[in-house]
Structure 1
Amino acid sequence: MVEWFDDLKVGMRFKSESKTVSREEILRFANEFDPQPFHIDDEAAKDTILQGLAASGWHTAAISMRLALTAKPFGPHPLFGAGVDELRWMVPVRPGDTLHLEGEVTELIPSKTKPQGIARVKWTAFNQNGEAVYTFNPIAIVPRRPA
């Protein structure tokens, strides 16, 4: 089991639980945080490049963050971050889509001055059809095993 930075290895993989996204959740999030027609109005969304109602990309990002927590890539430790690279939305998330997240450790950099390290995990969210809908590569700060 992963508990500390020292337990991680490049190539390790993680998989989250699943989450089905409802129309109501899409509308609630969009109305509060991203009230654009393609996120809040079925008819208006048909005439956009999304060709129908779709979750805000930021909603997809928030769902993915929640799913990353269920994967517990750093054991009991929180998912502290110093930033995110390579954030991409590839396929719209629609009402009724079921998402899960898969991650792979791509880089580990131990700190020379602090009891921690930087772990890079490339995360990809997939829908129920196996299509990648979203990717991101956070710069995670993970504590090292106490001496």
Structure 2
Amino acid sequence: MRFYEDLSVGDTRHSDDYQITKSEIVEFGEKYDPQPFHTDEQAAAGSTFGGLVASGWQTAAICMRLHVESSEDTATQVGLGIDDLRWHRPLRPGNSLRLRTEILNKRTSESDSSRGIVTTGHEGLNQDDDLVISYEATAMVQRWDGGE
């Protein structure tokens, strides 16, 4: 298990690839973001995207999964927030997405010495290494020494 003390600013991780399907895009869109360019291939063809695209929220959810899977060995206790969320280009059926995560900042918690606060930068990249999504996330991470 990697604790707060084991993490260094500049540490970088890469997730595995996740390939999105048309059926996943439509299912998510129908349930959570029912805009025609997420749910109807024909209507999407006439949209600004020129075809079916994943919801930005679906893209963010996939990034969350990729982050958890690529950092299972970290003693993260709770997420505190997301900042500077940006969608740079759409995720289309058949595209893949992978997550690059870098530790940007860390500090000990002022309210609980058993925890540290870590801010990470995230970039979701498609199969062509084009930036699809970016954001910063802040989380509490357990200290191995309990803050003593």
Q: TM-score, normalised by structure 1?
A: 0.93
Partner of 1:58: 57
Per-residue deviation, residues 66-108 of structure 1 (Å, max 9, x unmatched): 0001211x72434621110010100100000011100111100
Contact 1:69-1:79 at 8 Å conserved across structures: no
Partner of 2:4: 5
- The DSSP-based 3-state class of the residue aligned with 2:92 is coil
Partner of 1:91: 89
Partner of 2:99: 101
Contact 1:97-1:127 at 8 Å conserved across structures: yes
Q: Residues 23 and 66 of structure 1: is their aligned pair in 2 closer, same or farther, counting only changes over 3 Å?
A: same
Per-residue deviation, residues 96-133 of structure 1 (Å, max 9, x unmatched): 00111001111001113311111111010100011010
Gaps of 5+ in 2: none
Percent identity over the alignment is 36
Note the C-alpha offset of 1:51: 1.7
- The DSSP-based 3-state class of the residue aligned with 1:17 is coil
Partner of 1:136: 135
Alignment RMSD (CA, Å): 1.4
Per-residue deviation, residues 17-51 of structure 1 (Å, max 9, x unmatched): 11100000001111100010010111211222222
Partner of 1:41: 40
- The DSSP-based 3-state class of the residue aligned with 1:100 is strand
Q: Residues 39 and 105 of structure 1: is their aligned pair in 2 closer, same or farther, counting only changes over 3 Å?
A: same
Gaps of 5+ in 1: none
- The DSSP-based 3-state class of the residue aligned with 2:54 is coil
Partner of 2:124: 125
* Counterpart selection for 2:108 from 103, 107, 110: 110
Partner of 1:31: 30
Partner of 1:146: 145
Matched length: 145
Partner of 1:16: 15
